[in-house]
Amino acid sequence: MNGKRVLVVAAGGTLGLLAVVLVAMGNPANMGYCVACFLRDITGGLGLHRAAPVQYIRPEIIGLVLGAFLASQVTREFRPIGGSSSFTRFVLGFLAMIGMLVFLGCPVRAVLRLAGGDLNAGVGLLGLVAGVAIGVQFLKSGFSLGRAVPQQKGNGYIFTLFMFLLLILLLARPSFIFFSEKGPGSMHAPVWVALGAGLVIGVLAQRSRLCMVGGIRDFIMFRDAHLLYGFVAIFVVALVGNLAVGTFKIGFAGQPVAHTDGLWNFLGMALAGWAAVLLGGCPLRQLVAAAEGNTDSALTIMGIIFGAAVSHNFGLAGSPTGVPVGGQIAVILGLIAVFIIGYVNRPAAVKRGVSIGKGS
Amino acid sequence: MVKEVDARGLLCPEPVLLTKQALDALGSGTVKVLVSSAAAKENVSRLAESRGWQVEVQEQGEDILLVLTKR
């Protein structure tokens, strides 16, 4: 196993281990690390939605961004860029979040749920693979959101400064910030443990390029399993951890923060996977790229936050009782919207950027 | 014949996809790939090496030039 492979396995394994630890220390079951759930909680904490059970400023996200930012500074990989179909990326982030909140989790949580014995997550993962496979066909036919170009250096720092602001709000707990008193938002590991876990995951994710959607995409496109090793490492370590601490419970019914509606688990994650492939990576990867100075990825995260706000303010998100009709309609409309975005961004010039017979 | 791929500013997986097109079209020879991030450098290098191409990395200011050769 080469060094890069070891790194991606270590990143996945560490994420899986810390996820089990975070649950043991207070996070909701099977929610040791979930980018979608945590951004939804942050959205609620800021009062952008008013679903009382899911409001908390999650330090895991803050830590992830700070860790990835520090790693990119040390390795000199921090580079402010942007301008690659920014608003389209915002919309794709928004649509991906609609799908993830119908399923109740991001691709990372899908693996963690499966490692906890939640078979509904298996259905969701099948949907994720289907969505990625469809997105791959668009990539093969020339889909592109265009080139990002270098930005003024200050632009690259704004997203990380936003995370610092969130950390201050979390610690200061001013009255205008919302903290759930019951439900998933009220369940959390101690702040400094969660922040530290996020930092470690952020550093490892930046160094390893860990990406759940990228792993599936690369395997379908190039038969390259490199990133999939990280995916498998999360599952194996979390599974062993859950078995060790007695939190493994196999089945469909009665799983924590989940529902049994297979069709919408499948379609919700298909929407998320399709949108994420067109974006170039899963929500975890978008957070890391934003920390590295990519302002398009930062705007994608804002789209995800907007998606969380709309999902909960308009009653679209799934819950343990199932998926509301509004959420089902939103997923269908989302799939149509992603198709249109994919279709109209397929330039005729598939060989863009390639010139033949030039050079020395 | 030499092919040149300008993948600067393109996000994952476009640099790899463009490189794959160039490698498949050329079969052997030299393909020069210009990328703007370490992630793209690693992904393109992994693809090329898995297909038997040798990879030489040259820093070019903010960008990275990958010279891929196969005899």
At A358, is the pLDDT very low, low, confident or very high (cuts 50, 70, 90)? very low
Q: What does the mean pLDDT of chain A come to? A: 95
CA distance A285 to A300: 11
Domain membership of residue A356 (yes or no) is no
Instruction: State the DSSP string of A224-258.
Output: --HHHHHHHHHHHHHHHHHHHHT----BSTT-TT-
Inside any domain, residue A359: no
Digit-coded pLDDT (tens) for A20-40 = 999 999 999 999 999 999 999
- The tens digit of pLDDT for each residue in A322-338 reads 999 999 999 999 999 99
Would you state the structure tokens that stand for residue A106, as one six-digit string?
A: 């991001």
Domain limits at A17? Answer: 3-345
| pLDDT score at A296 | 97
Contact B39, A226 (CB under 8 A): no
How high is the pLDDT of residue A288?
Answer: 98
Question: pLDDT digits over A37-55, tens only?
Answer: 999 999 999 999 999 999 9
Residue A354 belongs to some domain of the structure? no
Does residue A217 lie in a domain region? yes
Interface list for chain B against chain A, based on CB atoms closer than 8 Å: 1-14, 16-18, 20-22, 25, 30, 32, 36-39, 42-43, 46-47, 50, 62
Domain total for chain A?
A: 1
Q: Measured between alpha carbons, how far is A72 from A255 in angstroms, rounded to an integer?
A: 38
Chain A residues whose CB is inside 8 A of the B2 CB are 357-360
Longest C-alpha distance within chain B, in Å?
Answer: 30
Residues in Cβ contact with A281 at an 8 Å cutoff, skipping those fewer than 6 apart: A211, A213, A214, A289, B11, B12
pLDDT tier at A146 (50, 70, 90 boundaries)?
very high
Q: What angle do helix axes A226-245 and A3-24 make, rounded to 10 degrees?
A: 30
Residues of B in contact with A290 (CB under 8 A): none
Question: Residue A352 falls within a domain, yes or no?
Answer: no
Query: Cβ neighbours of residue B8 under 8 Å, at least 6 residues apart?
Result: A147, B34, B35, B36, B63
Q: How far is CA A190 from CA A32, A40, A57, A73, in A?
A: 12, 19, 12, 27
Q: How far is A129 from chain B (nearest CA, A)?
A: 17
Alpha-carbon span A22 to A29, nearest angstrom: 9
CA–CA separation, A149 and A294 (whole Å): 10
Q: Considering chain A, what percentage of its residues have pLDDT values greater than 70?
A: 96
A338 or A142, greater pLDDT: A338
The whole-number pLDDT of residue A1 equals 66
Q: What is the pLDDT of residues A78-123, one digit of tens each?
A: 999 999 999 999 999 999 999 999 999 999 999 999 999 999 999 9
Question: Is domain B2-70 classified as CATH 1.20.58.220?
Answer: no
Distance from CA of B56 to the nearest CA of A (A): 16
Is the ipTM of this structure higher than 0.85? yes
